[in-house]
Amino acid sequence: MKTDQELFYKEYVRREHSTFRASYPAELSFYTAIKTGDMNKVREFMSPSIIEKEGLGTLSDNPLQNLKYHVVITIAMSARYCIEGGMDLSEAYGLSDLYIQKADRSKTPAEIEALHRDACLDYAGRMRLFRKRRVRNTRVAKCFDYIYDHLHTRITVAQLADHTGLDPSYLSRLFKKETGVTITEYIRTQKIETAKNMLAYSDYGSAQIASVLAFPSQSYFSEIFRKHTGMTPLHYRKAHARETGLGRKSALGPDM
């Protein structure tokens, strides 16, 4: 049975790609999910599929060609975001060329839909592996996966130890050696990064974000957020809105 936090988290993801909120910030959130290798969120963004999504910009009077243009935009943007995230230039552009050529040869909307899904998940999957390759120890990499998949819950060292089959004290030392930070510090940082994303790309308030990310209270969340960012959640939202132009419609349309 899903917890309230998990349901809120799913609702946040769903609202981010709702056709009624097809905005530039939502697109940024989608491409950020690809760049960080967040496979679950990428899948959430792709429902409904590109052929069912309302509000796509008209780039061609031919419906099939219009879909192809939108998929090409998505592939090109995914490549650039993954390069920002550390993907090798030749790998990113090689994938881009491959998928764009496949799009050009596609004959039906169903082929375009499958190609769009495969390309986005391929880029996200490679970025997820890239993130784990930076850590030599497979147990620590396994911790990364668990943490990213359970940010809506309270994650403890004991849970990670059970997940990896290691003694909690040994896992803590191993994690610090591999990453340079403690498990608690790493979890807290990832939750704050997610909170920053939610403040920038959704209308959830601090209390709801604190609940979604399983902070014990709104005041504690605000305190930790300020320590990490140097500003309150409200000030961060206002500052980020000025930088990205929240509410402005994307010229490209909702290509997620």
Do 141 and 125 fall into the same domain?
Answer: no
Residue 252 lies in a domain: no
Read off the pLDDT band of 175 (50, 70, 90): very high
When comparing pLDDT for 8 and 81, which is higher?
81
Please identify, among 80, 101, 134, the residue that sits at the C-terminal boundary of a domain.
Answer: 134
The boundaries of the domain holding residue 202 are: 135-245
Query: What average pLDDT does this structure show over 229-244?
Result: 82
Do 71 and 122 fall into the same domain?
Answer: yes
Do 130 and 144 fall into the same domain?
Answer: no
Do 79 and 123 fall into the same domain?
Answer: yes
Cα separation values, 114 from 92, 225, 256, Å = 20, 39, 13
Do 126 and 171 fall into the same domain?
Answer: no
Do 129 and 139 fall into the same domain?
Answer: no
What is the predicted pLDDT for the residue at 18?
A: 41
Read off the pLDDT band of 202 (50, 70, 90): confident
Do 109 and 213 fall into the same domain?
Answer: no
Residue 223 lies in a domain: yes
Alpha carbon of residue 202 to chain centroid: 14
Query: E strand or H helix at 177, and its extent?
Result: helix 168-179
Please identify, among 134, 164, 188, the residue that sits at the C-terminal boundary of a domain.
Answer: 134
The encoded tokens of residue 204 equal 């959830």
Do 10 and 130 fall into the same domain?
Answer: yes
What is the predicted pLDDT for the residue at 149?
A: 79
The encoded tokens of residue 231 equal 């500003």
Query: What average pLDDT does this structure show over 71-94?
Result: 90
Question: How many Å apart are CA 115 and CA 134, to the nearest integer?
Answer: 29
Read off the pLDDT band of 55 (50, 70, 90): low
Give the count of domains, the chain.
Answer: 2
Question: pTM of the prediction?
Answer: 0.59
Query: What average pLDDT does this structure show over 199-211?
Result: 85
What is the predicted pLDDT for the residue at 256?
A: 52
Do 158 and 187 fall into the same domain?
Answer: yes
- Asked if pLDDT for residue 137 goes beyond 50, the answer is yes
Please work out, in degrees rounded to the nearest 5, the angle formed at the alpha carbon of residue 111 by the alpha carbons of 108 and 116.
Answer: 130
In DSSP notation, 182-232 reads: -HHHHHHHHHHHHHHHHHHHS---HHHHHHHTT-S-HHHHHHHHHHHHSS-
Q: What is the pLDDT of residues 7-27, one digit of tens each?
A: 665 555 554 444 333 444 567
Do 115 and 193 fall into the same domain?
Answer: no
Burial class for 135, CB neighbours closer than 10 Å (0-12, 13-18, 19+) = middle
First to last CA, the chain: 29
- Provide the percentage of residues in the chain whose pLDDT is more than 90: 48
Residue 13 lies in a domain: yes
Residue 256 lies in a domain: no
Give residue 184's region: left, alpha or beta (phi > 0; psi -120 to 50): alpha
Please identify, among 104, 134, 164, the residue that sits at the C-terminal boundary of a domain.
Answer: 134
Do 52 and 90 fall into the same domain?
Answer: yes
The encoded tokens of residue 31 equal 């491409």
Do 102 and 70 fall into the same domain?
Answer: yes
Question: How many Å apart are CA 199 and CA 210, to the nearest integer?
Answer: 11
Query: What average pLDDT does this structure show over 147-153?
Result: 85
